[in-house]
Amino acid sequence: MAVSHYLPVRVALFVTCLTDTLLPETGIATVRLLERLGHQVTFPREQTCCGQMHLNTGYQGEARELARRFVRVFGDEEVIVAPSASCVGTVREYYPRLAEGDPALARQVDEVAPRVVELSELLAVRLGVEDVGASFPHRVTYHPTCHSLRSLHLGDTPYRLLRAVRGLDLVELPEERECCGFGGTFAVKNADTSEAMLADKVRTILDTRAEVCSAVDNSCLLHIGGALSRLRAGVRTVHLAEILASA
Amino acid sequence: MKGFPAAARDALRDTQLRRNLGVATSTIRDRRARAVAEVPDWEELRDAGAALKRRVLRNLDGYLLEFEAAVERAGGHVHWARDAAEAGRVVTEIVRGTGAREVVKVKSLTTDEIELNDALGRAGIDVVETDLAELIVQLAGEEPSHILVPAIHKNRVEIRDLFRSNFRLPELSDDPQELAAAARAHLRAKFLSARVAISGANFAIAETGTVSVVESEGNGRFCTTLPETLITVVGIEKLIPAPEDLEVFLQLLPRSSTGERMNPYTTLWTGITPGDGPQDFHVVLLDNGRTNVLADQVGRETLSCIRCSACLNVCPVYTRTGGHAYGSVYPGPIGAILTPQLRGVAEAPTLPYASSLCGACYEVCPVKIDIPRILVHLRARVVEEGAGATSERAAMRALAWTFGGERRYRRAQQLGRAGSRPFTRGGLIHRMPGLGAWTETRDLPPVPKQTFREWWDERRA
Amino acid sequence: MSAARDEILGRVRRALSDVPPSDDVDVPRDYRVAQGGSLDRFVDRLRDYGAGVRLVDAAGVAQAVAEACAARGVERIAVPRGFPDDWRPPGIEVVVDDGLSPAELEAIGAAATAAALGIAETGTIVLDTGEGQGRRVLSLVPDVHVCVLHAAEVVDGVPAAIRRLADGFRTTRRPVTFISGPSATADIEFQRVEGVHGPRQFDVVVVND
């Protein structure tokens, strides 16, 4: 669905439960950024969670109910944006599977899921904007999350947006495609392996001498940022939305 | 079977294993990437390979019958084994019939799966493993830890010591060239005197009854050529439809497994050939749970696996924990989906969770098995079959209920804020019981003064 | 055994009860059939993995085989019945394989055979026990293998090779061996060691005729 960037668009924000509850600055930045670009942002108040955690832990019945809720809450919206590749991936890739065997739900999913986009997709792909007027004079390295790489296939979209940010010194992250080890409940059920993976991700981030590590998923950033903070490494994590919203 | 998390914790502490594994897997990973990048029609080959395997699986009974008839027409014998024990009995009977007390064996994961060596051992028949790594692992009395390099967990000094005592070579050095030469000499004597060999098969062609062994060392050629009797154990999923289909699989397998354009030796034989090779040929078709996998419509494509191990070498979990942590001859991503389906999810309930769902495996699978999707599916089966923790079930239900209504969700956020406040120092939570391992190694932001929706509400007002 | 057979087939059929009877999966064959490999590539690949390669015309085969023998220190060589007389290396004792035992082949230490095909892209020699190639054991046990094939027998890639071999699996059903380099292992600390089993010295004579 092509959307012209000359016309203001009405965008419904799917803020995600994690960002809403722990890292609201990402949601706030998303709103400010889109408004700065001249678009109208709405926030369907009934939204809660996409159900990714339940789905990935094996609770498909519960996930299906959350999917049902999601398509009801966002059913009337033309464009739904989330600052999260993993949540968008859950909706676009897994909701159709969850809806198998339920024709009414499947119909709703078929209508709503394609309208759900991740933030950098919305900006660079749908709206055709790379320079969002941002200024962020820091050395930044970018971690492409597994969902952004292999579920949404964002490719170089986030990089193009970052390269257009004034003053931003973008340094490539070595072995960037390696998973950070969060994996939702994986970090809880397999904490040791998760930490081993995190150790390597932190090492490569520190090797870049960047001040900031960014990504499009707060789940990964919470995990990576939590370790960097514990290490007193002097590196912080900042969601892409917040960098792009800086002016 | 020790659960994966506990087994992984032990394995992660073994610095030598982690180093060896890291070096081996990153080397093979790079080689595979180069070998694949060279091929402009790689995706088309994957599509064909995936479709061919799905075709066989969806008509497996027909293809099995075709294969059986073709093997018998070519002078071979076909046996069927419902499970490991039956396969062991069948093979033992065949060997006993020849009077041989020793057999040579080509590496075969299928024979490891059914613990064939133990079955033969109980019948007083010695099995000589002829793959170098399998030989090492056998001499050490251990289990293999990787599909392709099973002895990756052993260093040269350990191998030297094994060879010194077992081959009676007290002066042997630890130089890999010398070690390989010692193995060559030891095994040559075995090859030249063996009357019975056991192998697996990489591919079995339904239309012609042809069986193939794809290898690097040459022991496969020796085992399938010199002895009088050859017994080949074939999982029922190993079939491919027609000889033409080799043009797809003989490109997909070498590049995916060892990152070579072609592996050193591939042998293909059909029944018996008078005057050349074994005159007494037996195929044992093995189920051992494969029909359970076949019955699961989502999990079925697991049986497409051609045992290349590409998924192992890109898996961030496997490359750090190694194979033993999976408690099965099939480790890594493929093991995490195959083992629970073969044995039943209740027998391996932690394996579907031994993954962060990063998806790197699916990217490299030459037959496009959607491993992440099957992992999620198997997690649902674990929960449905009641093999998950009951406390978790209650918590997940409560959380789903909380997410089911906006007011309850908001309330939960407020409770979370109140609950995290006492643990917050300098704007961060450094330690909070109830959060499990998280705060042992990571800080966490507390629920802030304003959640996003509280900010939104205030803005609107 | 037939109880096992019936039970397994029954399980398979029940497992596939969701598959319609006339089901067939469409197999897309959009991969390359022609891969564009040439004789030059074939020679490069062989040399890359340490095989000796000599290109000659029809009259030069025997001498080339003799040179390969000399380079490998070979004084006796086993050949299959049907190995062309005018390929026999002068000055080398030629033993025809009329049922040599593996021990005898080991002692002779060298074998010369024809081949069925070569594959340029992968540097593969294919043997199918056809004319002049002999039994499998002949090209397996001796430590030196000299292989003679015609340039016209070299195809560009794996699909071309398989297409030439496919009917043979149906009709003559001869065993087929693909050889693409010396045997190798990386099982000891992941260091590559070449020459485990199988001939450690491999020479190819390509005849342009």
CATH number at residue C101: 3.40.50.10420
In contact, B308 and B252? CB cutoff 8 Å: yes
Here the contacts of C25-29 (C-beta below 8 Å, separation 24 or greater) are C25/B51, C25/B52, C25/B54, C25/B55, C25/B58, C26/B51, C27/B48, C27/B51, C27/B52, C27/B55, C28/B44, C28/B47, C28/B48, C28/B51, C29/B48
Q: B196-199 and B102-105: which strand pairing?
A: parallel
pLDDT per position as a tens digit, B323-338: 989 999 999 999 999 9
Neighbouring residues of C44: CB distance < 8 A, sequence distance ≥ 6: C123
Using pLDDT thresholds of 50, 70 and 90, give the confidence band for residue B310: very high
B15-37 and B246-257 helices, crossing angle to 10°: 140
The pair of three-digit structure tokens given for residue C14, joined into one six-digit string: 């029940």
Question: Hey, what amino acid is at C91?
Answer: G
What is the rounded distance in angstroms from the CA atom of residue B411 to the CA atom of residue B402? 9
Chains that touch B (3 or more CB pairs under 8 A): A, C
Residue B361 in this model has a pLDDT that exceeds 60: yes
CA atoms within 13 A on the CB side of B111: 28
Choose among B458, C43, B289, B44: nearest CA to A28. Answer: B458
B141: exposed, middle or buried (Cβ count in 10 Å: 0-12, 13-18, 19+): exposed
What is the rounded distance in angstroms from the CA atom of residue B371 to the CA atom of residue C32? 27
B208, B271, B291 member nearest C8 (Cβ): B291
pLDDT of residue C1: 52
In contact, C132 and C118? CB cutoff 8 Å: no
Q: How far is CA B307 from CA B149, B240, B352, in A?
A: 12, 14, 19
H-helix or E-strand spanning residue B232: strand B229-235
Choose among C53, C65, C45, C38: nearest CA to C154. Answer: C38
Using pLDDT thresholds of 50, 70 and 90, give the confidence band for residue A8: confident
ipTM above 0.90, yes or no: yes
Using pLDDT thresholds of 50, 70 and 90, give the confidence band for residue A1: very low
Is the CB of residue B416 less than 8 Å away from at least one CB of chain A? yes
Total number of domains constituting chain C: 1
pLDDT of residue B431: 84
Residue C42: inside a domain: yes
Q: Which residues 159-218 on chain A approach chain B with CB closer than 8 angstroms?
A: 177-179, 181-198
Neighbouring C-beta atoms of residue A128, cutoff 10 Å: 12
Is the CB of residue A55 less than 8 Å away from at least one CB of chain B? yes
Choose among B304, B281, B280, B303: nearest CA to B291. Answer: B303
Domain B39-288, second-level architecture: 3-Layer(aba) Sandwich (3.40)
- In the sheet with B203-205, reading across from the earlier edge strand, the strands are B239-240, B203-205, B210-215, B265-270, C176-179, C124-127, C117-119, C154-155
pLDDT per position as a tens digit, C114-168: 999 999 999 999 999 999 999 999 999 999 999 999 999 999 999 999 999 999 9
Residue A63 in this model has a pLDDT that exceeds 70: yes
pLDDT of residue B435: 74
pLDDT per position as a tens digit, A65-77: 999 999 999 999 9
What dihedral angle (degrees, nearest 10) is formed by the CA atoms of A31, A32, A38, A40? 30
Residue A6 in this model has a pLDDT that exceeds 80: no
In contact, C87 and C115? CB cutoff 8 Å: no
B42-58 and B246-257 helices, crossing angle to 10°: 120
Here the contacts of B417-425 (C-beta below 8 Å, separation 24 or greater) are B417/B446, B417/B447, B417/B448, B417/B449, B417/B451, B420/B446, B420/B447, B421/B446
CA atoms within 13 A on the CB side of A162: 25
C11, C102, C177 member nearest B226 (Cβ): C102
Question: How confident is the prediction for chain B on average, in pLDDT?
Answer: 94
Task: Strands of C17-127 (E only): list them.
Answer: 52-57, 76-80, 93-97, 110-114, 117-119, 124-127
Measured CA angle at B68 (ends B63, B69), to 5 deg: 100
Q: Which residue ranges make up each domain of chain A?
A: 10-124, 131-245
Task: Strands of B273-415 (E only): list them.
Answer: 280-286
CA distance B250 to chain C (A): 7
B–C contact (≥3 CB pairs within 8 Å)? yes
Is the CB of residue B403 less than 8 Å away from at least one CB of chain A? yes
Neighbouring C-beta atoms of residue B102, cutoff 10 Å: 15
B5, B443, B444 member nearest A192 (Cβ): B5
What is the rounded distance in angstroms from the CA atom of residue A154 to the CA atom of residue B203? 37
Domain that holds residue C77: 32-207
pLDDT per position as a tens digit, B251-276: 999 999 999 999 999 999 999 999 99
pLDDT of residue B140: 87
What is the rounded distance in angstroms from the CA atom of residue A33 to the CA atom of residue A41? 10
Residue A15 in this model has a pLDDT that exceeds 70: yes
> Scanning every residue of chain C, which has its alpha carbon at the shortest distance from the alpha carbon of B17?
C189
Question: How confident is the prediction for chain C on average, in pLDDT?
Answer: 94
Residue A18 in this model has a pLDDT that exceeds 60: yes
Q: Which residue ranges make up each domain of chain B?
A: 39-288, 390-460
Is the CB of residue B357 less than 8 Å away from at least one CB of chain A? yes
The pair of three-digit structure tokens given for residue B432, joined into one six-digit string: 């909070």
Residue C155: inside a domain: yes
What dihedral angle (degrees, nearest 10) is formed by the CA atoms of B349, B351, B352, B357? 150
Are residues C188 and B180, on separate chains, in Cβ contact within 8 Å? Answer: yes
Residue C5: inside a domain: no
Choose among B372, B266, B245, B380: nearest CA to B311. Answer: B372
Q: C191-194 and B424-425: which strand pairing?
A: unpaired
Q: Strand, helix or coil at A20?
A: helix
pLDDT of residue C112: 98
Residue range A131-245 in CATH 1.10.10: no
Burial readout B303-336 (b: 16 or more C-beta within 10 A, e: otherwise):
bbbbbbbbbbbbbbbbbbbbbbbbbbbbbbbbbb
Phi and psi angles of residue C53, each rounded to the nearest 5 degrees, phi first: -130, 130
Using pLDDT thresholds of 50, 70 and 90, give the confidence band for residue B391: confident
Are residues C8 and B23, on separate chains, in Cβ contact within 8 Å? Answer: no
Q: Which one has a higher pLDDT value, A239 or A5?
A: A239
Residue C166: inside a domain: yes
Class in CATH terms, A10-124:
alpha beta
Using pLDDT thresholds of 50, 70 and 90, give the confidence band for residue B148: low
Residue C199 in this model has a pLDDT that exceeds 80: yes
Place of tokens 């499990």: B436
| Range from A16-20, A125-129, A144-148, B233-237 carrying the lowest mean pLDDT | A125-129
Are residues B55 and C135, on separate chains, in Cβ contact within 8 Å? Answer: no
Question: Hey, what amino acid is at A77?
Answer: E
| A40 beta partners | A10
Helices marked H in A113-214 — which ranges? 119-120, 146, 157-163, 186-189, 191-207
pLDDT of residue B238: 98
Phi and psi angles of residue B268, each rounded to the nearest 5 degrees, phi first: -125, 130
A31, A56, A226 member nearest B376 (Cβ): A56
What percentage of chain B has pLDDT greater than the value 90?
Answer: 79
What is the rounded distance in angstroms from the CA atom of residue B248 to the CA atom of residue A119? 40
Q: Which one has a higher pLDDT value, C207 or C193?
A: C207
Phi and psi angles of residue C78, each rounded to the nearest 5 degrees, phi first: -90, 140
Residue C22: inside a domain: no
Burial readout A55-93 (b: 16 or more C-beta within 10 A, e: otherwise):
bbbbbbebbbbbbbbbbebbeebebbbbbbbbbbbbbbe
C–A contact (≥3 CB pairs within 8 Å)? no
Measured CA angle at B311 (ends B240, B377), to 5 deg: 85
